[in-house]
Amino acid sequence: MKITVLAGGVGGARFALGLRDAARELHGDADIRIVTNVGDDVWLAGVKVCPDLDSLLYALAGVGDTERGWGRAGESERVAAELTAYGVGWPWFTLGDLDLGTHLARTAMLRDGATLTEATARLAARWPVGATLLPVTDDEVPTHVVTDEGVLHFEEWWVRTRAQLPAHRFVQHGVERSRIAPAARTAIADADVILLAPSNPVVSIGTIIGIPGVRDALETATAPVVGVAPIIGGRAVRGMAEACLAAIGVEADAAAIAAHYGARSAGGLLDGWLLAEEDAASLATVEALGIRAAVRPLWLTPGAPAAQVARDALQLAASIAG
């Protein structure tokens, strides 16, 4: 059973943990590949930081800081204090010492000529991750945010302004020259099931599907495509997805996001969509779009509840595949 997931960082990691548990029970031999957003990636203090890949890596490796929700557990910040003293990097964007080890290792591999796909595989090989992490592209496509105060890198807008500065537009710098990474393309093409994690529809899933080659790969894939709503009862569970949705004129509503992705039968992305129980009233609206919908608990509480969300997504996909 080949399961391919499109995912961002935090929502992506919570879903991936549940999926790994669910897949182990259902199909002992499941091959999970996670096609990951790289729009948040940034060069800081001379090293390449990949926030979404690292959130997934640390969570699946069991070395993440589950309380903070990002970075490594047991982290210290001695190097960050030195960098700040030199005025290097972003003082509001802390790079922990252990985390810097990852970024230094990745940067060394890239400097030696590895692609980001190859470097990610080498980083992941250290731990029993139980899934393959695949950057959607090996090219650099930083997300820029157009605001009244100028154009900011996504991480500056997200972390420094906490998405409080109204965003007019998100721009993938360099996207027209980028292309889908070969391993990501294969993961979509030969999957038995394709799942959209409950990730930010704009700056995680949106950036992934904006990479040239991704939409084509999804269109021609034989696997059913099932998404999990990242909005429950009109609110993003964690993070500030509402601010991103506002910029693209999409309501923070599970059915509105399904409509934004569109039915695959009508040139969109989705065959199926999991709605939270809080959004049960939207079932008919989503089905009227030509998307098979199901209503389930969608709180990704670690452990059994997160695994159940993944099981429900797999089940909806199986019922679509017939």
**Which member of 3, 9, 124, 320 binds Ca ion (CB under 5 A)?**
9
**Which member of 3, 4, 14, 33 binds ligand GDP (CB under 6 A)?**
14
Q: Rule CB under 6 A: is residue 252 a binding residue for ligand GDP? A: no
Q: Rule CB under 6 A: is residue 241 a binding residue for ligand GDP? A: yes
Q: What's the burial of 266, exposed, middle or buried (CB within 10 Å: 0-12/13-18/19+)?
A: exposed
Q: Is 150 left (phi over 0), alpha (psi -120 to 50) or beta?
A: left
Q: Radius of gyration of the chain from Cα atoms?
A: 19
Which is nearer to ligand GDP, 10 or 314 (by Cβ)?
A: 10
Cα 62 from chain centre: 18
**Which member of 83, 175, 232, 314 binds ligand GDP (CB under 6 A)?**
232
Site for Ca ion in 36-75 (CB under 5 A): 40, 52
Q: Rule CB under 6 A: is residue 167 a binding residue for ligand GDP? A: no
Give me the least distance between CB of 71 and ligand GDP, in Å please. 12
Count of residues touching Ca ion (by CB under 5 A):
4
Residue 300 contact, options Ca ion, ligand GDP, none, Cβ 5-8 Å cut-off depending on partner type? ligand GDP
Give me the least distance between CB of 300 and ligand GDP, in Å please. 3
Q: Rule CB under 6 A: is residue 198 a binding residue for ligand GDP? A: yes
Q: Is 110 left (phi over 0), alpha (psi -120 to 50) or beta?
A: alpha
C-alpha–C-alpha distance, residues 217 and 198, integer Å? 20
Cα separation values, 20 from 45, 96, 209, Å:
34, 27, 23
Q: Which residues of this chain interact with ligand GDP, rule CB under 6 A?
A: 7-12, 14, 52, 55, 197-200, 204, 228-232, 236-239, 241, 298-300
